[in-house]
Structure 1
């Protein structure tokens, strides 16, 4: 049952911990920069001039800082919070995350492949730094609690010697020639490259008459205060269903309403849909248990002597519905706290909730301004079969952070990144092994791809993980990219993008019931597809 354990797909060249062939030159991690190691009674990174400034110490900021340090890029890491992972002191409201970390996975937590089973720990090529969230989990669930997640991130920051200037709030942004100037609560920072890892946890409400009367998810009060009450929850995505699931033991009746039908992860094949672990309210609705999940446009909300009156209009089933309820909560989603960046020229979209970005997470309108963490969902990618990336969650954006750090280091700060060579005879087993086992390709399906460049003079070189949209759109040398995708029927399979003489063609390899793409059939198909390119 090799496929169930995501076993290897056959003989491949020896590889480094990040999955590259072992013939790559590797200098290891650089010595710690003195600016990154502060005395306990000092605050690091005082206001001043730095090549790069990273704002935010959630998982996106920590991961970006870690890889910038590994690449030798000097930078300041600043945060308004008082410690790493500040958001997990507040969210999710009902404690447990929606992303899994499996303490008893089929592979050791120190292996790269375990990242597929551990969606919440940050990345490192040092096995000792891997799986930091798992070690704090008590075994009662494979969805970490907020304290478990927080402890895991704090431990990673301490062990990786990531230091930051905490309690330093970004206030405004300006230009000074070719540089950026950040005004903060501690003073001014000047840099040529800015990275914002500021999360997407600010309350967002749609324009509905009376919605200002309604508390948002971020203002949620203790669940016991809903005991015996009739509650209307606005929204049917993860935050709405999380509230409903958590209130089931308390509320007399729950009504979830929004204009569109609920999108469930098990139907959409995407974590952007409402997750299965929150589906008890949905089942209650389906089985007539007294709770309701309705497709209804909310037209206005009024206060009454005893609570609220919610006026709605059915969408999939037309008709006016008016609800007299004790409580209303808006589970209507979140926005990015962009401050003055839109006025600074950063273009936004999605009702101004996200900054528009290039495939390498740079502002589409202000070069030199980059984004990390959950905001990188603003770099949409190809969105094949209508399925978005996993960039809204740690298991997706941690890989974006590594790609981002490499891109910044190489294109803006002169760091030469070695491209290891791959022997022609190793190409097919290597690519099939990546399709079977690479967590980057499974966690960021149809979004990141393993790319090999083919040059008649220099041979075949491994370009690492590259945004698939960039590979498809940018053109360049002869090359092959492999990714994993899930199609509209739910089939999971490898997809090849072969670029030859300036033309890129796509070829889909067959699925496998155990997701093992190292079979003789896959070897034969890939060998045939690549023959014109690497012969």
Structure 2
């Protein structure tokens, strides 16, 4: 039997895509190595607190606006199937997410086969063949990989095998009492680990070659989050902890017990130094596991071979009909937007579903007609930027598109920007593409430094200089960028002041169409 679709992975992305295929009556199956949905979250994060916010009380009644502050819910046709019903915690527990995913799979009717550990994927005859460890096989015309970054990232350091691994070390802080500990890595998993040990360990060093970046400054939520950065206080206030900037050159056992580490500093005159530790924990993040693909369909990898390389349609650049969903799609916006997280990739999954519909089922991207008048176009754009959760969460990556041809206009929502500029929607005399963006250099400005000048709120004249999140509208004439208009930033993110937002936008649209 050859299916139309096989999805590998019953995590958040795989479940949401499967729910959409189930609703549409498509021929598909989901393969999951675990005993139920969300296997990854039964183990990670190791200390069981998520850093995806769960803001139950927003003051909004509009469910679309509430999704702006709900980072864990998946998209579905069931308005009651929301994670906010499972926990009141702002940073919820991972076990609550596992419960939610199990209920999501059951209530949407997802057809998943559990205990199916994929060990080989091949494509000898133009059809994907997927083999499981127990000997079962499946065949499909299209394959969607939604496994996430499931493999621990192990840097090529001599002796690194002596370190304990984030994915299986003993998380009980008491086992680290009065010990000197090195944590290798500078991401949230490393700092989550260091923070958990502060009350028991004697000394903790967190080490990595790159500069530490704070999420509140870069607006990339994968950078260090405030919920994990109490450790920085203990470092800067000289409480026996430190962040080391540089590379671990080697690890070896010391004759008198513990470990000897050779460390190369990145920014001091002391280039090499020998350091001693009782315990070493490797927490350098995760990577995509491509080992199951044979030579007939092995996807190209990028970013130090940590992610599969993809087109604007989430398809492998070298294996046709091989698609990716979920956190793997962060290759498209690496450390810039939100495809690495549920609150971002849930909209990417919806976009992928629309792409599959258009390519294989003759169903064009959903569109609604609109009067081709500048006022109507401006009003439609303003309404969307003030309400949409997809544009809000996938800033700089997804955009709404207004196509104008003669006296006819159509409005299409949440299209990957690279798909639009690459011609994925076909030709049009005029296209207005709107997304939400931070201004250039926003990641290099300390938002709490009052000596740094910034554009005033609702300053339409200087809106193009804004660094805070704001709508940007670009006009393409016959596929070529022809003009750009910025809507003035607003403290409450309400871009609906007639003289500041609607009227300047209407004038821009009119000038473009004229």
Q: TM-score under structure 1 normalisation?
A: 0.85
Alpha-carbon distance in structure 2 between the residues aligned to 1:338 and 1:70: 30
Q: Is the CA contact 2:153–2:284 (under 8 Å) kept in the aligned structure 1?
A: yes
> Match for residue 231 of structure 1?
181
Offset of 1:427 from its aligned partner? 2.1
- CA distances 1:204-252 after superposition (whole Å, capped 9, x unpaired): 1111111111122112212221122111011111111111111122211
> Match for residue 310 of structure 1?
261
> Match for residue 476 of structure 2?
499
Give yes or no for the alignment of 1:204 onto 2:153: yes
- CA distances 1:8-37 after superposition (whole Å, capped 9, x unpaired): xxxxxxxxxxxxxxxxxxxxxxxxxxxxxx
Offset of 1:77 from its aligned partner? 1.3
- CA distances 1:182-205 after superposition (whole Å, capped 9, x unpaired): 222352222111101111021111
Q: Secondary structure at the match of 1:107?
A: coil
Q: Specify whether residues 172 and 472 from structure 1 end up closer, same or farther in structure 2 by C-alpha distance, changes over 3 A only.
A: same
Give yes or no for the alignment of 1:92 onto 2:71: no
Offset of 1:254 from its aligned partner? 0.8
Q: Secondary structure at the match of 2:370?
A: coil
Q: Is the CA contact 1:454–1:533 (under 8 Å) kept in the aligned structure 2?
A: no
Q: Which moved more, 1:360-369 or 1:490-499?
A: 490-499
Give yes or no for the alignment of 1:512 onto 2:490: yes
Residue 81 (structure 1) aligned to one of 24, 34, 39: 34
Alpha-carbon distance in structure 2 between the residues aligned to 1:280 and 1:321: 27
Give yes or no for the alignment of 1:398 onto 2:351: no
Offset of 1:97 from its aligned partner? 0.7
Q: Specify whether residues 69 and 225 from structure 1 end up closer, same or farther in structure 2 by C-alpha distance, changes over 3 A only.
A: same
Alpha-carbon distance in structure 2 between the residues aligned to 1:428 and 1:329: 54
Q: Which moved more, 1:68-77 or 1:387-396?
A: 68-77
Q: Is the CA contact 1:169–1:186 (under 8 Å) kept in the aligned structure 2?
A: no
Q: Secondary structure at the match of 1:514?
A: coil
Q: Is the CA contact 2:166–2:283 (under 8 Å) kept in the aligned structure 1?
A: yes
Q: Is the CA contact 1:99–1:120 (under 8 Å) kept in the aligned structure 2?
A: yes
Offset of 1:533 from its aligned partner? 4.4
Alpha-carbon distance in structure 2 between the residues aligned to 1:167 and 1:213: 31
Give yes or no for the alignment of 1:107 onto 2:60: yes
Give yes or no for the alignment of 1:352 onto 2:305: yes
Offset of 1:353 from its aligned partner? 1.4
Give yes or no for the alignment of 1:336 onto 2:314: no
Give yes or no for the alignment of 1:531 onto 2:513: no
Q: Is the CA contact 2:485–2:505 (under 8 Å) kept in the aligned structure 1?
A: no
Give yes or no for the alignment of 1:175 onto 2:123: yes
Offset of 1:417 from its aligned partner? 5.2
> Match for residue 465 of structure 1?
414
Q: Secondary structure at the match of 1:409?
A: helix
Q: Is the CA contact 1:237–1:263 (under 8 Å) kept in the aligned structure 2?
A: no
- CA distances 1:456-498 after superposition (whole Å, capped 9, x unpaired): 26x1112221111222233731211111011223421111121
Moved over 4 A (4+): none
- CA distances 1:309-332 after superposition (whole Å, capped 9, x unpaired): 111121122413322111101111
Q: Is the CA contact 1:446–1:483 (under 8 Å) kept in the aligned structure 2?
A: yes
> Match for residue 375 of structure 1?
328
- CA distances 1:325-351 after superposition (whole Å, capped 9, x unpaired): 111011111111222337323100122
Higher relative contact order (Cα pairs below 8 Å, separated by 6+ residues):
1
Matches within 5 A, 1:129-528: 129=81, 131=82, 133-137=83-87, 139=88, 141-184=89-132, 185-223=134-172, 224-304=174-254, 305-319=256-270, 320-341=272-293, 343=295, 344-380=297-333, 388-416=336-364, 418-423=366-371, 424=373, 425-456=375-406, 459-474=408-423, 476-477=427-428, 478-487=430-439, 488-489=441-442, 490-504=467-481, 505-520=483-498, 521-528=500-507
Q: Which moved more, 1:50-59 or 1:474-483?
A: 474-483
Q: Secondary structure at the match of 2:472?
A: strand
- Structure 2 stretches of 5 or more lacking a match? 443-466
Q: Secondary structure at the match of 2:422?
A: helix
Alpha-carbon distance in structure 1 between the residues aligned to 2:126 and 2:403: 34
Alpha-carbon distance in structure 1 between the residues aligned to 2:77 and 2:404: 26
Offset of 1:378 from its aligned partner? 1.9
Alpha-carbon distance in structure 1 between the residues aligned to 2:165 and 2:437: 35
Alpha-carbon distance in structure 1 between the residues aligned to 2:176 and 2:380: 55
Q: Is the CA contact 1:71–1:409 (under 8 Å) kept in the aligned structure 2?
A: no
> Match for residue 50 of structure 1?
3
Offset of 1:418 from its aligned partner? 4.4
- CA distances 1:35-85 after superposition (whole Å, capped 9, x unpaired): xxxxxxxxxxxxx32111111100010011112223332211111111011
Q: Is the CA contact 2:46–2:171 (under 8 Å) kept in the aligned structure 1?
A: no
Alpha-carbon distance in structure 2 between the residues aligned to 1:481 and 1:188: 44
Offset of 1:534 from its aligned partner? 5.0
Q: TM-score under structure 2 normalisation?
A: 0.89
> Match for residue 22 of structure 1?
none
Offset of 1:511 from its aligned partner? 1.2
Q: How many residues align?
A: 477
- CA distances 1:395-437 after superposition (whole Å, capped 9, x unpaired): 1111111101111122023335542212344321221222222
Alpha-carbon distance in structure 2 between the residues aligned to 1:369 and 1:502: 28
Q: Secondary structure at the match of 1:421?
A: strand
Q: Is the CA contact 1:68–1:409 (under 8 Å) kept in the aligned structure 2?
A: no
